[in-house]
Every structure is written in C-alpha cells, then in structure tokens.
C-alpha cells in the first residue's frame, strides 16, 4: 500500500510541475525524474552549508565600441572533489521555495562583496547583472533586501541589474512580482528580461512591468547566418525594443559573423564565448584592461 501511495505522490508532483488543473497517471520514468530533482536539491544544500558557491563573471560588450560595459554574475560551485561546476546540476534548487531564495541571497552577498572590492580599488567594471528566480519574489521583501544590502556597503543602485525570465510574470503572485520589480526600479536598479523570445510572456508585459533591457535568447543568436527566420526575429526584437526605449543585449555570441550581423542591425550589447566565458572575480581586472585596449584599437580602426 505504501508503494501505491508513493507512486500517487510522485504523479501528483509531476502534475503540479506541469501546471495547474491537470491529471497525471504514474509511470516508472517519473521516479527517475524525482530522484534527479532530489539530488539537485541535496547538492545545492551542500554547496550552501559548505559555502562552496563562487560567483563567476561573464563580460558584456558594447558592440559599437567593443568595450566591456558590465558583467553577468553566474553561479558556480565546487563539488566534494573541489571541481568547479555550472548550475545545471543544481538547477531545480533555483525554483525551490526555500532553497531558491537562500541561493540568491548567498549569490547577492558574494557579488556585492566583489563589487565593493572593485569599487575600493577604483576598477571601472560598469555593472553586474544578477539572475533572480520566481522563488525570490514569493518570499516577499526581496527588493527591500537588495536595497538594504547595497546601502550597507554604500554602493549605488547603478552598479547592479536584476535579470528575470518571462515566467516570473505568469501565474498567481504576478502582482507581488510587479510590486517588487517596481520598488527596485524606483530605486534606480535596472531590470533585464532574460531569455527573451522563448517564454509564454505576452508583449504587453514589456509595458506592464518596469523592464529596461531585453536579452535575446541564445537560441536565436546561434542561428544567425543559417536561419533567415532567426535573423528576422532577432532584428524585429531589436527594433521593437528600441521603439519602446529598451536596451538590447544578444546572448550567446560565438562567432565574428554573428557579432557583425548584430552590429549591423544596431543591437546594443553582446555577450558570449566569442568574448569570454564566465571568469572568477580575480580575473576581472585583467579582462577590463584588455577591453580598454580592444576599444582603442576599434576607435583607431
Ligand atoms: P542564463 O541566465 O541565460 O545565463 C547564460 C548562460 O549561457 C550561462 O550558462 C553562460 O555560461 C552560457 N553562455 C554564455 N555565453 C555563451 C555562448 O556563447 N555559448 C553557449 N553555448 N553558452 C553561453 P550557465 O552559467 O550554465 O547558467 C545557466 C543558467 O542557470 C542561467 O542561464 C540562469 O538561468 C541560471 N543561473 C545561473 N546563475 C544563477 C543565479 O545566480 N541565480 C539564478 N536564479 N539562476 C542562475
Ligand atoms: Ca541571465
Ligand atoms: Ca539568458
């Protein structure tokens, strides 16, 4: 009997993850999914308790000048062998009601510590964009926490951006999200809409929520040069965004051809392996020094 109850529980969980008001019948494959989820949660919890989270920074480049305008903070953590890992093994934890906001809190504090250090040594790093998940907004008081953390270190709101994906706008609690984002925005923190073009969001969200930047999803950028459809979508998003007064960031630029297409259609900022992968905080000063030189070469050319 307990096996049947467990199976029912797992099917219930699968139904809930699939969205509201749906019925799912248990299949053995669901068990694998649940175990994978539990492993992710356990690994994230370990990373928090052993304090092995290390934010890494990927540069964002202004396409017109080739200079670094800022960075995106990406979560990296060390496993028990000390090996550096990307978020994919802990991904489920970002949306976990309890763990998600603990992860964000840890990232926020570490990123602000790095920013404070760069500020003290007079490094012109621009800004750091921080990823935020739905769990952060459900807790309440998120904007307050961010603003208090900035104030405690005497940092200006312009030194960070907050990145959210379209799905935080959906479902119940969208009102809370709007309130929190508005509080951040009113304080002068810029908001970026991440993975744009892949979600279910409607275009009206762009005017309803205080969005300042659009990040065009990597899946479109990577098909530049091979898919006229992807190119049409990319250039339309750039125009649409500009008409609404938004800054456009292209994610996942890997080739010079993609970069030059984006520059031609007036995309503002680029990010991707073509420039650099995410790097530890200690590598940021050298990255900026190199960008300074690249900018000068671009100007001379
Ligand atoms: P994202 O926010 O869309 O971040 C961009 C991802 O694309 C990063 O993967 C980055 O390493 C990767 N990327 C950047 N340029 C290129 C490129 O040219 N080619 C390819 N193939 N990939 C590129 P990463 O670091 O593995 O992060 C994956 C996702 O995990 C992020 O997607 C974000 O949704 C989430 N994430 C990362 N850090 C955090 C965090 O601190 N908090 C939250 N809530 N989510 C995070
Ligand atoms: Ca992001
Ligand atoms: Ca993205």
pLDDT digit string, tens, across residues 136-157:
888 789 999 999 999 999 999 9
Cβ neighbors of 199 (< 8 A, separation 6 or more) are 165, 166, 167
105 lines ligand 1 (CB under 6 A): no
* Cα-trace Rg, the chain: 20
217 lines ligand 1 (CB under 6 A): no
Question: What tokens were used for 67?
Answer: 């200079």
Ligand 1 pocket test, candidate residues 57, 87, 102, 213, most atoms within 8 A of CB: 87
- Least confident range of 1-15, 56-70, 249-263, 275-289: 1-15
Which pTM value belongs to this model? 0.92
Q: Is the pLDDT of residue 293 over 70?
A: yes
Give the separation between CA 33 and CA 35, rounded to whole angstroms: 5
pLDDT bucket at 170, cuts 50 / 70 / 90: confident
Q: How much is the average pLDDT of 121-126?
A: 97
278 lines ligand 1 (CB under 6 A): yes
Between 129 and 197, name the one with better pLDDT. 129
Q: What is the pLDDT of residue 292?
A: 83
Percent of the chain with pLDDT over 70: 97
pLDDT bucket at 21, cuts 50 / 70 / 90: confident
Give the separation between CA 297 and CA 76, rounded to whole angstroms: 33
Give the separation between CA 274 and CA 190, rounded to whole angstroms: 25
Q: What is the pLDDT of residue 34?
A: 87
Q: How much is the average pLDDT of 20-38?
A: 89
Q: How much is the average pLDDT of 42-46?
A: 94
Q: What is the pLDDT of residue 301?
A: 58
Ligand approaching nearest to the C-alpha of 129? 2
Q: What is the pLDDT of residue 16?
A: 85
Between 112 and 18, name the one with better pLDDT. 112
Q: Is the pLDDT of residue 201 over 70?
A: no
Do residues 266 and 238 touch, judged by C-beta distance below 8 A?
yes
Percent of the chain with pLDDT over 90: 77
Q: What is the pLDDT of residue 276?
A: 97
- Dist. CA 63 → ligand 1 center (Å): 20
Q: How much is the average pLDDT of 263-270?
A: 98
- Dist. CA 74 → ligand 1 center (Å): 6
Cβ neighbors of 94 (< 8 A, separation 6 or more) are 87, 100, 103, 104, 133, 135
Give the separation between CA 43 and CA 217, rounded to whole angstroms: 28
Q: How much is the average pLDDT of 186-199?
A: 94
Q: How much is the average pLDDT of 57-75?
A: 97
Q: What is the pLDDT of residue 171?
A: 74
Residue whose CA lies nearest to ligand 1 atom number 42: 131
Burial class (CB in 10 A: 0-12, 13-18, 19+), 111: buried
Closest CA to 237 of 199, 267, 194: 267
- Least confident range of 96-105, 187-196, 267-276: 96-105
pLDDT bucket at 33, cuts 50 / 70 / 90: confident
- Dist. CA 126 → ligand 2 center (Å): 17
Beta-bridge partner residues of 279: 57
- Least confident range of 21-25, 51-55, 192-196, 262-266: 21-25
Across all residues in the chain, what is the average pLDDT? 93
């Amino acid at each position: 009997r307990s096996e049947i109850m467990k199976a029912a529980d797992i099917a219930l969980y699968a139904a809930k993850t699939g969205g509201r008001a749906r019925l799912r019948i248990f299949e053995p494959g669901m068990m694998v999914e649940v175990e994978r989820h539990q492993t992710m949660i356990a690994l994230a919890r370990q990373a928090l308790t052993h304090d092995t989270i290390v934010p890494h920074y990927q540069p964002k480049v202004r396409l017109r000048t080739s200079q670094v305008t800022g960075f995106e903070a990406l979560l990296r953590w060390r496993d028990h062998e000390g090996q550096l890992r990307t978020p994919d093994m802990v991904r489920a934890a970002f949306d976990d009601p309890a763990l998600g906001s603990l992860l964000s809190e840890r990232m926020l504090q570490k990123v602000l510590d790095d920013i404070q250090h760069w500020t003290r040594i007079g490094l012109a790093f621009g800004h750091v964009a921080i990823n935020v998940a739905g769990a952060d907004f459900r807790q309440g008081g998120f904007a307050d926490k961010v603003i208090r953390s900035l104030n405690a270190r005497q940092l200006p709101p312009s030194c960070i951006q907050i990145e959210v994906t379209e799905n935080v706008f959906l479902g119940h609690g969208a009102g809370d999200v709007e309130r929190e984002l508005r509080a951040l925005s009113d304080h002068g923190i810029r908001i970026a809409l991440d993975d744009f073009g892949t979600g279910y969001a409607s275009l009206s969200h762009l005017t309803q929520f205080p969005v300042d930047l659009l990040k065009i999803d990597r899946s479109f950028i990577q098909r530049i040069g091979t898919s006229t459809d992807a190119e049409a979508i990319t250039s339309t998003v750039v125009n649409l965004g500009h008409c609404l007064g938004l800054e456009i960031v292209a994610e996942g630029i890997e080739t010079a051809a993609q970069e030059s297409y984006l520059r031609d259609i007036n995309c503002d900022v680029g990010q991707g392996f073509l420039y650099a992968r995410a790097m530890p905080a200690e590598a940021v000063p050298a990255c900026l020094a190199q960008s300074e030189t690249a900018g000068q070469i671009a100007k001379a050319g």
